[in-house]
Homo-oligomer: A and B are copies of this chain.
Amino acid sequence: MNIKEKFGFKVKQLRERKGFSIEYLANISNVDRTYISDIEKGKRNVSIQIMEKIILALDADFIEFFNDNNFKK
């Protein structure tokens, strides 16, 4: 997986773990629903500000979000 795919995979994993629909995550993060869907598919070169909106909406922070062996180099 490239970094865009790794990021999207983790977003989807945390979103599903919290029982959130894409629509709900879109509403609480204030990021467009289709944009979140594309992120989860690894299609978007997401910016740090969008990352922050999504990570906070998932009740996480950058420390927790990236503390995952999938992000090992």
- Residue positions of A touching B, CB distance < 8 A: 3-4, 7, 45-49, 51-52, 56, 60-63, 65-69, 71-73
Contacts and interface: CB of A to CB of B under 8 A. Distances in A.
Contacts of A66: 62-63, 65-67
Interface SS majority for chain A: helix
Contacts of A51: 3, 48
Contacts of A7: 48
A58 to B, nearest CB: 11
A48 B49 contact: no
Which are the 8 A-B pairs with shortest beta-carbon distances? A61-B73, A62-B71, A62-B66, A66-B66, A3-B52, A45-B47, A63-B71, A45-B49
